[in-house]
Chains A and B, each alone.
Chain A
Amino acid sequence: MSNSDHDHDHDHDHPHKPMVDEITDFEVLEIALRELCIEKGLFTADEHRVFTEYAEQIGPTPAARLVAKAWLDPEFKKLAQTDAIAASKAVGVDWLDPTGFGAPSDFVAFKILEDTPTLHHVIVCALCSCYPRPILGNSPEWYRTPNYRRRIVRWPRQVLSEFGLQLSEGVEVRVEDSNQKHRFMVMPMRPSGTEGWTEDQLAEIITRDCLIGVALPKPGVTNNVTPLVRPAIRGVTA
């Protein structure tokens, strides 16, 4: 491809990532709903902008960092167990002011659930989809499904095995139900094979799924599992 038809010296031959070159109805619908809500005074454009920026920047990195620190530093681990809000601050997450413009209304408490050789935690929100967003980012799609929410409470071992996590009978599985006032994350055990690792190396294997409790950290595994999300089976009505 020749790019010599105009006079400047930057290189046009670098590869461009492909882009969606059409305007979708869904993109248009999102803008329409937002504009109409703003016009009707439900919220302001500024409020929307701040929340959107917040949604852009959150992710599971601070939570992974927190666990890696706790694995390496017994004092920090104690802090994580006794004052999870303070431990979160040490990795840059202020639960009392996560968006930077006032305390959000949807939580008041945060707790870190420590796994042991005989106890495994997994989190859920049976009621809706409450999730420790300030420190773990947005919840994955499967976490929001009624299927996961209903079944993890009733048959935790079966659901965990669908994520590829088989726990021995000697390990108690505790399902912690989040709600609008309480949020949780899991502190998994440090796996063998990570002796001498740095905080950065450890943080890499502490994936989002490990922090929810549907996976265990493992050397060499840095990706989340994508389970088969089955649609909820609806009761047949006469």
Chain B
Amino acid sequence: MNDKNPVEAYAILDEIVERQQTWPIMTKRYGVENPLPPWKTSLDGLCDALDRSCDTAPLTFKERRDEEDELSASLYTNLPYPENQLVSLAHSLLMRGVIDETELRKRLAVIRARLEA
């Protein structure tokens, strides 16, 4: 496990935060009324699936929630919910070395290209 300080920043996540494509901004820009972004239930599914795989999961339910609270009140204080939940989860997975920053950056580019094709 990576012993990085929980509040130490990751450039890739900081870049996402800085671009500010948060749901409240999107709803205002496009006149949409849904209170939550469309990816929220998939994030719920992701968190539930992670919590359930406690034999293999790198973090427990409580660790995940504690870190979400900690990070949402520190590094990601400018993000609304559930963006702060998502970015905190990414942070926790990076911190534990489950994923690394380079592979995440590559994957983000591949997925964006796929969605914009």
Contacts and interface: CB of A to CB of B under 8 A. Distances in A.
Contacts of B19: 25
B9 interface: no
Interface string A19-53: 11111111111111111110011110001111111
B52 A43 contact: yes
Given A31-B111, A36-B99, A231-B73, A20 B26 contact: yes
Contact of A52 (B41, B53, B89, B104): B41
Contact of A27 (B39, B49, B51, B103): B39
A52 B23 CA distance: 20
Nearest to A44: B49
A75 interface: no
A165 interface: no
Nearest to A21: B30
Contacts, number: 150
Size bracket of the B interface: 35 or more
A19 B32 contact: yes
A43 B108 contact: no
A18 B32 contact: yes
A51 B83 contact: no
A54 B52 CA distance: 14
Contacts of B41: 52, 55-56
A51 B45 contact: yes
| Most chain B CB within a 10 A radius of its CB, from A17, A29, A49, A146 | A29
Interface string B26-59: 1101111100011101111110111111101110
A73 interface: no
A100 interface: no
Interface string B54-89: 101110011001100100011001000111001101
A81 interface: no
A31 B49 CA distance: 14
Interface of A: 17-37, 40-43, 47-56, 104-106, 127-129, 138, 141, 144, 146, 180, 231-232, 234
3 cross-chain pairs, A with B, having the tightest CB-CB distances, nearest first? A52-B45, A55-B44, A51-B45
19 contacts: A20-B29, A24-B26, A25-B19, A25-B21, A26-B87, A32-B104, A32-B111, A33-B86, A36-B99, A36-B104, A40-B99, A47-B53, A51-B49, A54-B45, A54-B48, A105-B51, A146-B73, A180-B61, A231-B77
Interface of B: 16, 19, 21-23, 26-27, 29-33, 37-39, 41-46, 48-54, 56-58, 61-62, 65-66, 69, 73-74, 77, 81-83, 86-87, 89-90, 93, 98-99, 103-104, 107-108, 111-112, 115-116
